[in-house]
Every structure is written in structure tokens, then in C-alpha cells.
Structure 1
Amino acid sequence: MKPPYEDAVVVVTGASTGLGRAIAVGAADQGAKAVVINYASSEQEAEETARQVRALGADAVVVQGDVAEDADCVSIAAAAARFGRIDALFCNAGKTTRPAHAHQLDKLSGDDFLDVYRVNVVGTFQTIRACRELLERSERAAIVATSSVAGVTGNGSSIAYSASKAALNTMVLTLARGLAPRIRINAVGPGFMDTVWFDKLGPHRDKIRASVIERTPLQVASTPEDIAGTVLFLGCEASCRVTGETLIADAGLRMTGG
């Protein structure tokens, strides 16, 4: 059986750390020939992702860009153009507001909403638009957007974040119609992921992690690598008849009220 990403050209936005890095490295491990690694500000960490990709035998191209900027999305696509096509596009770049803003109407501003939407919704749209022509040159084109269980439960790091992910889920459904039959698009909605983002919470991190394990039916705190497996499934031919779906990968957390 051939590797799922054999000879594939892959683009991953927000790939410097966490889930993005796990997707990029996972695709290389599953046979990708080239991985375009996008980052917004963490060049050193993006280069570490590239090092890990190259160690697995794939070509790695690092490109800086903020997906909230349309010109940067065009640059990301241009970085993949040398390979002639894109087989899998992983729109993983995302943003949230500070956790302290959650459900506090008096502290969450319109600008907070706009900043989050520019990356999570508009940025995903702009990236897809910029990459569409290269995706249409592939015989197995797939897009996977990183959503969140918060887009289903409404219980996330902020109201703006949860709303943006719900909007993303709807956009995926709409684009599935517009991009068919040449391109498939789906989303994955993780729950808690044990990433460096939670380092910002200091001593509260361990309490949150323990609480997630206690409340989650599968009694786990997912890692980026856990979720990357689901993402990579939706980006390869194993899911060739799946489009327009949002697959929740939260170890069952939403069943407890999230």
C-alpha cells in the first residue's frame, strides 16, 4: 500500500508550532514530496518545522505571511507554484482573544471581533482563493480548515473566537458546493489541545489539563499529533468521498457540555 501523501505537494498555514507543525511533519512522514510552511511571526520555530520535514525526506519551503492580508496569501500560493500544483491545503492559521474576555460583553470590543474574524474566517477564504488555481491542477485536491469544537458548543476562549469558528464551519459547507467537483473541503474541530499556547496560563495550565481529562469521556488531553492524524485523513484519498463536513475531534468533550 502506498503512503497516503506519496508525491504530494502540501501547504500548511500557521505551521511554526502546535497543530500546524504536526500536520506538516505528519504529511512528510506519510510521503509528501514538498511541504510549504507558512508562519506569521515565529521564523525560528518555522525553520524548526522545516528541519523536521526535511529530515523525513521532503522538500520544505518556509514563507512568512499573515493570512489576514490578501497579498500575503498570494505569496503563500506563489511559494507552492514552483511545484506546479497543490494537492492538499491545510488552513490552520488561527487567532483568539485573551481568555479573560470570554462571555464578558463589556470587555469584548468590535475590534476584537474583527481581528479574530480577519484571520479565522477571512484569512481562510483568502488563502483558498489564492491557492485555488494550483489546487485545480491536482487530481486529488483537498482543503482542510482548522475549526474548533467551540464553533459547535459556543464554549471557547472568547465569544468572538467561538463565533468565528461557527462562521468557518458554515463557510466550509458553502465552499464545498462552490469548489466541487475539482476540490474537496472539510474542517476539523479539535477540543482541548496540549500546546504551547497554554503555557501563557502559567500555573493554571495543569489545572485546566486535569479538568479536561476528568470531564472528557475518553479521559485524555489531546496532543497536536493526535489531532493531526484526523486532519491528514481528511486531506488524503482515504476520505475521497467526504466534503463539506466538520469533523469534531474533541475526545467527546462536547457531550459533557464542553
Structure 2
Amino acid sequence: MSDVNPGALGPYDLAGKVVVITGGSSGIGAASARRLAALGATIAIGYNSGRERAEALAAELPGSGHLPLHLPMADTAAIRAAAAEVETKLGRADVLVNSAGTTRAVPHADLEALDDETFDRILITNVRGPYSTIRAFAPLLKRSGDAVVVNISSLAAVNGLGSSIAYCASKAALDVMGVSLARVLGPEIRVIGISPAAVDTGFVPGRSREAVLKQAALTPLKIVCQADDVALAVVSAVTHLRLTTGTSLLVDGGRHL
């Protein structure tokens, strides 16, 4: 255990660090990749079906060595293979951003519309997938000695007002899972959740930009949350929140108030 405060030594440098981002080819994941690469990190851009997007992003990012990485949330064997590939090709992992997720807009009052297949798909992708990814990368992250897991959660975990009841449940589960993991993965690994309200991306199928604007208008700050706003919170979790673990931070413009 060290009593040196890293913040006292100047800016937290990401040069030489490796960041793995699930769902890294679009949305919040891609925005986080851009921000973290700009700080010097090498990015493993996890994708499921978006290989071309991941390859294009890897070519666009500043720096070199960025790795498009097949990292599907429903396939534990593929997740373990991805961890082995990162170790072989990049040699380390210092940050894991769990940004991959899925949902479907289902009115909460229509219980029959939320069928078992949809419910299971959402829970597998949003809960079991991040757990399997953390489990697979834990040895590499522990070896770093100063690692961070950032789980992209949602205000829906708190207020239960997300795109579907299953989505709300999945994000609440992700948050509690983060608390449990923070206890057992410290001191080498911090675990932090980032919980935005509606983000101006195409994440929710069928949700219009007008719906996002309407939600933003209900917040005290009245600012539409962009993917880059969430990415900035991810950067803060990695570089500045040195004594934060086992908690989730709202990035919602005050929507919870």
C-alpha cells in the first residue's frame, strides 16, 4: 500500500495504458474511445456485429496500436478469447469500460408485450455480459495494480423509467453487481458506474430525437446529454476519482430531482 497521492504528482497519464471498451464501435463506447485515446491510451475497441465501424474507429484514433476486438456479450468463450487476444497483442489491460448494452422500447403497462425472449436477451447482454467480461479481464486488470472498471449504467436503475421494465431491472442489477465486485476486486481495481439519463444516440430503437429533447427539457439544466458528455464522466472516473469505488455517478442534468 502506498501513501503517495497520484494527483499530487501532476496529471494522471494514460500513455502506455490499455483500455478495453465493450460496445466500443458506436455511441458512448466510441466517444469514450476518442477521449481516452486523446489522453494517450491504446484502445481495444470491442464489437459484436460492428466490425467495420470498429476498424474505421481504430484507424481514426490518435496514437497507434488500437485493436478492433470481437467481444460479444452473449458468448462467454468469445469473451475469454478476447481477453487472451488483448494479453497477447497489447500485453496488459488497465481500464475496462462496459458500454455494450441492448434494449427494446416496451410500454411498462403492457406486461404481455415484454416477452421472455426479450427479457432474457436484455439481462444476458446488460448483466451477465459485463460480469463475464470483468471475470475474463480481472487477471490482467489486477496485474496493472491501478485499474478501473467503468460500467455504463442508467438513471433507469434509480427511477425505473427506462425503455422497458427489463432494461430498468438490468441496470439496477449492474449497479448492485458493481458494489459487490468493488469489495472483492480492491485494492488493485476500482469499480465505478456512470448513469446517464436519455442520451442523444440511436441506442433505443424507435426513440425519436424529439423524445430525447422532451426529457432534457424536464431537467434543471435543460441540456441534451450527448455521448461525449458521458465519455467525459468516464475519463473523470479513470483519471480523477482516485478514491471512488463501488458507487454510481449520475450524469443526468438533474433529471432525478
1:229 aligned onto 2:241: no
In the TM superposition, residue 218 of structure 1 has moved relative to its aligned partner by 0.7
- Supply the distance in 2 between the matched residues of 1:127 and 1:195 (Cα, whole angstroms): 24
1:18 aligned onto 2:27: yes
1:52 aligned onto 2:80: no
Aligned to 1:147: 153
Per-residue CA deviation, residues 180-234 of structure 1 (Å, 9 max, x unaligned), is 1221111111111111336x53xx6242133123211111111101110101211
Q: AA paired with 1:150? A: A
Q: Per the alignment, in what secondary structure is the counterpart of residue 12 of structure 1?
A: strand
Q: AA paired with 1:239? A: L
Preserved CA contact (<8 Å) 1:103 1:159: no
In the TM superposition, residue 2 of structure 1 has moved relative to its aligned partner by 4.1
In the TM superposition, residue 142 of structure 1 has moved relative to its aligned partner by 0.7
- Supply the distance in 2 between the matched residues of 1:3 and 1:141 (Cα, whole angstroms): 13
1:19-168 correspondence to structure 2 within 5 Å = 19-32=28-41, 34-53=42-61, 56-82=62-88, 83-97=90-104, 99-168=105-174
Which 5+ residue runs of structure 1 have no aligned equivalent?
none
Aligned to 2:5: none
Per-residue CA deviation, residues 22-67 of structure 1 (Å, 9 max, x unaligned), is 11111100111x21011010112112221222xx113211112311
1:148-227 correspondence to structure 2 within 5 Å = 148-197=154-203, 200-201=205-206, 205-227=208-230
- Supply the distance in 1 between the matched residues of 2:191 and 2:199 (Cα, whole angstroms): 23
Preserved CA contact (<8 Å) 1:193 1:224: yes
Aligned residues: 247
In the TM superposition, residue 251 of structure 1 has moved relative to its aligned partner by 0.8
- Supply the distance in 1 between the matched residues of 2:209 and 2:170 (Cα, whole angstroms): 27
Identity within the alignment, %: 35
- Supply the distance in 2 between the matched residues of 1:165 and 1:209 (Cα, whole angstroms): 19
Preserved CA contact (<8 Å) 1:80 1:86: yes
Q: 1:139 to 1:93 in 2, by over 3 A?
A: same
* TM-score, length basis structure 1: 0.91
Give every structure 1 segment of 4 or more consecutive aligned residues whose post-TM-superposition deviation is greater than 2 Å.
1-4, 100-103
Q: 1:41 to 1:175 in 2, by over 3 A?
A: same
In the TM superposition, residue 71 of structure 1 has moved relative to its aligned partner by 0.8
Preserved CA contact (<8 Å) 1:73 1:130: yes
Q: 1:41 to 1:102 in 2, by over 3 A?
A: farther
Q: Per the alignment, in what secondary structure is the counterpart of residue 254 of structure 1?
A: coil
Q: 1:180 to 1:152 in 2, by over 3 A?
A: same
- Supply the distance in 2 between the matched residues of 1:171 and 1:22 (Cα, whole angstroms): 24
| C-alpha RMSD of the superposition | 1.5
Q: Per the alignment, in what secondary structure is the counterpart of residue 176 of structure 2?
A: helix
Greater shift, 153-162 or 73-82, is seen at 73-82
Per-residue CA deviation, residues 47-104 of structure 1 (Å, 9 max, x unaligned), is 2221222xx113211112311210111122122103222110111110112x134332
Preserved CA contact (<8 Å) 2:20 2:44: yes
Aligned to 2:4: none
* TM-score, length basis structure 2: 0.91
- Supply the distance in 1 between the matched residues of 2:47 and 2:161 (Cα, whole angstroms): 27
Preserved CA contact (<8 Å) 1:36 1:79: no
Aligned to 1:252: 254
